[in-house]
Amino acid sequence: MNDLSAFAGPSIDWFSISPVLTLLAGALLLLLVGSLTNEWPKHWYSLTAAATSIVAITLSVVLWRDVSNDGARLLIGGSLTLDHFALLGSIAVCVAVLLVSLITSDYLSRDGSNSPEIYALYLTAAIGAVVMISSNDLVVLFLGLETLSLSLYLLAASNRQESASQEAGLKYFILGGFASAFFLYGVALTYGVTGTTRLVDLNTALTSYISVPRNDVILLIGIGMILVGFAFKVSLAPFQMWTPDVYQGAPTPVTAFMASVGKVAALVALMRVFVVAFPSRSDDWGVVVLVLSAATLVVGSVVAIVQTNIKRMLAYSSISHAGFILVGLEAASHRDSANAGDGLVAVGVYVALYAALVVGTFGVVTVVARNSSSEANSLDAFKGLAKNQPILGLVMTVFLLAQAGMPLTSGFVAKFGVIQSAVAVGSYQLAVIAMVCAVIAAFVYLRIMVSMWLSDGATTEKVSVPMLSRIAIGLAVAFTLLIGFLPSLILDLTSNLAELATK
């Protein structure tokens, strides 16, 4: 008989993982209590998810202060991290869950639908996202990735009355399965070379020996497959083919959730994996990231111009944003430069600002386009919006200007940060491509603004903005303008974002 008393599990700092436990408690509350009780009053399901997010945000802020005082550290035997970079990503995820939950409640109320499942899936997806963001182990990261992905597949297909939603869920599931397979096979190859899946230990293993002649073929294939897996999840060109179809077919609040939580989790995890685990091979993957970033910027900006469906336009816009964020990763690949850390800081700031910005944008689309049909989401649906509903038109204009990177908005702070990080390490060609693509993408947002302000709508009926959606959109636009006018509020907080947990 084996002596189980000899086994000693890792010590667990329960408070350090309290945001994840809070999200889990909220999901269990919605599923268990919701299934054992009669239907809750209107909006109670969404308010429960929103309250859960607020508690998780509060705990993350407390942990931020602890990290500032005691320093970053590894958790649960080194499988998770606790540092400012992980906490900022977790806060961005929880803020997105909060805003999307409020918008979803009004969206479902139009059809008289009131069920806890979609909000529970929001919370389980957030759990997977936070685990991805905080992971220091490729296997743990894969578990978080699958938790997030499976929830998103179900959310994309959650509208059973719309065939487009079912199609979106199926496409996302099939292509997402391929992405997960690429990622997992890359992890297996990397483990075969190094004998570990811990990010910190991977770096140690790869820098502790020099093979003569250097033969890193298997390792480089593994790193490449991990990058391909991330590229599918982040919608990097040429792996972005699923994004416009899924964004268009999924319910609009779910699209907002995928564009915010899904992207934040994948990009932050991508950044951590390559900066922490593979800095010794940055000469190899840095060139690939540069090509992927440039291609993604061009595809996202140029193809968006010819779209007529607002959700497809914003889908290609999100692809373009992924390209901008990848500029920061390319800057971080210049590990010999004293300014390489600026890329990490720029990515953290960008994803945090983008999460609130994209949810607000899709929140307005949810209010204006009352269903997921092509007609409701066409550019014509926004004609004359500013004349019939000036405040809503003004709010949408602020979001579009922010996505274009105009000054005095959070979008300018985000884009300026990643371009500045590229210039600081000497990646002038990528910085120029990013600036040119920003100008091209601005035409897309200008088309929507012209349609809202200068075109006559087919109807003079005013768009009704329900109370919870009004709160969510109001919070998003207030944050967008506040950071635009006072960027120091976030830049001062994130000045030491590059200090990642390594021990």
Q: Which amino acid is at 50?
A: A
- What Å distances lie between residue 163 and 116, 117, 184, 250, CA to CA? 22, 20, 31, 10
Spell out where 424-487 has E strands: none
Q: Mean of the pLDDT values across residues 481-487?
A: 91
CA neighbor of 156 nearest in space, from 171, 168, 173, 174: 168
Question: What is the radius of gyration, based on Cα positions, of the chain?
Answer: 22
450-465: pLDDT as tens digits: 888 887 765 556 777 8
Written as six digits, the tokens of 320 are 């373009």
Residue 422 contacts residue 331 (beta carbons within 8 Å)? yes
- What Å distances lie between residue 145 and 190, 267, 283, CA to CA? 18, 12, 27
Least confident of 59-68, 213-222, 399-408: 213-222
- So what's the pLDDT on residue 144? 93
Residues of the chain above pLDDT 90, percent: 46
- pTM for the model: 0.92
pLDDT grade for 241, boundaries at 50, 70 and 90: confident
Dihedral Cα 300, 273, 59, 16, nearest 10 deg: 170
More confident residue, 29 or 378: 29
Residue 282 contacts residue 336 (beta carbons within 8 Å)? no
Q: Could you count the other beta carbons within 10 Å of the beta carbon of residue 224?
A: 16
pLDDT grade for 95, boundaries at 50, 70 and 90: very high
Spell out where 452-500 has E strands: none
pLDDT grade for 142, boundaries at 50, 70 and 90: very high
Q: At what angle do helices 217-234 and 163-194 cross, to 10 degrees?
A: 160
Q: Is the pLDDT of residue 369 over 70?
A: yes
pLDDT grade for 9, boundaries at 50, 70 and 90: confident
Buried b (16+ CB within 10 A) or exposed e, 93-131: bbbbbbbbbbbbbbbbbeeeebebebbbbbbbbbbbbbb
CA neighbor of 272 nearest in space, from 320, 202, 207, 211: 202
Q: What contacts 427, CB < 8 A, 6 or more positions away?
A: 290, 327, 330, 331, 334
156-200: pLDDT as tens digits: 988 877 788 888 888 889 888 888 999 999 999 999 888 889 998
313-351: pLDDT as tens digits: 999 999 999 999 999 999 988 887 777 788 888 898 999
CA neighbor of 352 nearest in space, from 60, 144, 103, 143: 60
Domain spans in the chain, listed from the N-terminal domain onward:
17-491
Written as six digits, the tokens of 165 are 């939603």
> What is residue 82's three-state secondary structure?
strand
CA neighbor of 326 nearest in space, from 290, 300, 275: 290
